[in-house]
Amino acid sequence: MKQSFYDLNHSDLEMVLNQNDLNQSAAAILFNWHYKKKENAQCYEKIAKNSLVFFQNNFDFSLPKIDTVHESKDRTVKFLFKLKDNHKIETVLIPFHNKYSICLSSQVGCAMNCSFCSTGRQGLKRNLTTSEIVGQFLKAWRWLAKNRPGEERILNIVFMGQGEPLHNFDAVKKACEIFISKHGTSIGIQKITISTAGYIPGLKRWSQEIPGVNLALSLHSPFEEKRNELMPINKIYPLDEVLTYVDMIPLNKKQFITYEYLLIKDLNDSPDDAKKLATILADKVPI
């Protein structure tokens, strides 16, 4: 089976060209064609014929297929993508002033098993590849270009769809590298946010390997016992440890951490929950 072109970041592409005695300048041209111009046709810009033939023969340029599209009255667009092995994943375009944020999935199913989440109840089926992550973005962009011309501006990327992104770190990291590449979509690093349930091994890699990408930490309860019930990962990485670790991470200029809280009636919405939450977040609110 051919490797997907969309699994390569810019340096991978340069390395492939180098290893095959091809001109490295083709990397920037191909990246520009497929990510900046977002073309799906074969690249016909100034590129050596032997490089073009090499990529045609050795790489797969296909992307996940759109299975269904659901448009809401508020112009939110929900895509169900069908992957090559027939698994399905969701992607959402969230509008703001004729621009969009995109919510990407990172896994089929999820190992975190949060009690309020239908994806969690499926268990982890598999990780998405980088091409399947980047493919959600490219296909959603092309859908906008065709169906809402002039509005194909996806300015924010949030990894808040199916899966725990930090549990599929390598593929998510490479997708971020492709998104921020100046040869490609050139999305500002501060426009990307990764959501986590508090998976500490992934948090460590996030802080070291993709500094600048924002974090959204799902809390859902300030109490360890209640959080154990809602988010079983808390039994392995308790909230207290996660918050201590996150507090120690030096943030870049314009980088931020948000704390997410899903209000569930009669479960985590009491005055005691609110008071405890206020206590643990007291030193985290910007003045």
- The C-alpha atoms of residue 240 and residue 285 are separated, in whole angstroms, by 17
Considering only 1-9, 95-103, 157-165, 207-215, which stretch makes contact with ligand SF4 by CB under 6 A?
157-165
Decide: is 194 part of the binding site for ligand SF4 (CB under 6 A).
no
181 vs 214 by CB, closer to ligand SF4:
214
Instruction: Give whole-number Cα distances, 46 to 51, 179, 279, in Å.
Output: 11, 23, 60
Query: Which of 47, 92, 93, 114: binder of ligand SF4 (CB under 6 A)?
Result: 114
164 forms part of the interface with ligand SF4 (CB under 6 A) = yes
User: Is residue 197 a contact point for ligand SF4 (CB under 6 A)?
Assistant: yes
Shortest Å, Cβ 120 to ligand SF4: 3
If one asks whether residue 144 binds ligand SF4 (CB under 6 A), the answer comes out as no
Distance separating the N- and C-terminal Cα atoms of the chain: 54
In angstroms, the Cα distances linking 22 to 2, 12, 221, 286 are 19, 13, 55, 51
Find the shortest distance in angstroms from Cβ 113 to ligand SF4. 6
112 binds ligand SF4 (CB under 6 A): yes
> Please, what's the b/e burial string for 133-169 (b: 16 or more CB within 10 A of its CB; e: otherwise)?
bbbbbbbbbbbbeeebeeebebebbbbbbbbbbbbbb
Nearest Cα neighbor of 140 from 181, 180, 95 is 95
Q: Near ligand SF4 by CB under 6 A, which window of 10-18, 95-103, 110-118, 130-138?
A: 110-118
Residues in the chain: 287
Q: Cβ-closest residue to ligand SF4? A: 120
Residue 52 within binding range of ligand SF4, rule CB under 6 A: no
Q: Is 198 in the site for ligand SF4 (CB under 6 A)?
A: no
Residues in CB range of 142: below 8 A, 6 or more apart: 38, 40, 152
- 89 is a contact residue toward ligand SF4 (CB under 6 A): no
CA dist 85 and 102 (Å) reads 24
Does 162 bind ligand SF4 (CB under 6 A)? Our answer is yes
User: By CB under 6 A, is residue 110 in contact with ligand SF4?
Assistant: yes
Shortest CB 267 distance to ligand SF4, Å = 15
Complex with ligand SF4: residue 120 or 184, whichever CB lies closer: 120
CA 172 to chain CA centroid, nearest Å: 6
* 184 makes contact with ligand SF4 (CB under 6 A): no
| Nearest approach, Cβ of residue 287 and ligand SF4 (Å) | 31
Residue 45 CB neighbours (<10 A) = 12
Structural element, H or E, at residue 125: strand 124-127
CA distance 77 to 152: 13
- Asked whether position 221 contacts ligand SF4 by CB under 6 A, the answer is no
- With CB under 6 A as the contact rule, the residue among 119, 129, 130, 193 that binds ligand SF4 is 119
∠ CA 115-121-122, rounded to 5°? 165
Footprint of ligand SF4 (CB under 6 A): 110, 112-114, 117, 119-120, 162-164, 197
